[in-house]
Structure 1
């Protein structure tokens, strides 16, 4: 049996972007995660070691969001691989990063990148 753990609307103020002003002024970013693991152990054990610790997942994202990058894809990739390294029990992972009010002269709520990866044992 699989379990999907979702962390939604994690908000970060960071300095990502291609335009020079984005690295100076910064912007608000939202990150969503969908982590898939086997639920077999945690259903029976009721033990945190048998699942994903949400606080540790958040700290991993926070650490990667604090490192400036030009591309949302690059940030999403770093988050994906950092989470996979920290939680080897992951079977699949979906990372969505949204930049709110992107600075390109139009009225757009957000621009987003979604990365999905699955690992088969």
Structure 2
């Protein structure tokens, strides 16, 4: 078993419950970690024996374009999309909204979902 980890994906999105977030948007930082059986990949050196991280990135990027009120909803949508990969054994996603609209100073607010 092995892991593929995409760290600190930086994307922009219009997620949130506050009306201004729908129009203004915000910056997000996403970490994605998946577990895959690498036993064939490290023997035959073929991309088809693993999960292509380019495809993983494109799924995250496309789902970030679809507005959600909650980051929890967004996280679940992304993990659900990842289930197209038969080799996927486990997925963990962390989505952080940078500079959330709170009455205070906070760098980010994050949600984590594991399946």
Do the structures match in fold with TM over 0.5?
yes
Q: Distance in 1 between matches of 2:18 and 2:86?
A: 36
How far is 1:95 from its partner?
A: 0.6
Q: Please give the TM-score of this superposition, normalised by the length of structure 2.
A: 0.98
Structure 1 unaligned regions, length at least 5 = none
The SS at the match of 2:95 is strand
- What are the equivalent positions in structure 2 for 1:47-86 lying under 5 Å apart? 47-85=46-84
Q: Distance in 1 between matches of 2:83 and 2:29?
A: 20
1:71-110 CA-to-partner distances (Å, cap 9, x unmatched) read: 000000000010112x121000001100000001111111
1:41 counterpart residue number: 40
Structure 2 unaligned regions, length at least 5 = none
Q: Distance in 2 between matches of 1:88 and 1:47?
A: 16
Query: What's the Cα RMSD here?
Result: 0.6
How far is 1:60 from its partner?
A: 0.5
Q: Distance in 1 between matches of 2:51 and 2:25?
A: 31
Matched, 1:112 2:71: no
Corresponding residue pairs, total: 115
* Pick aligned residue for 2:94 from 59, 72, 96: 96
Matched, 1:27 2:26: yes
Q: Please give the TM-score of this superposition, normalised by the length of structure 1.
A: 0.93
Q: Distance in 1 between matches of 2:110 and 2:86?
A: 26
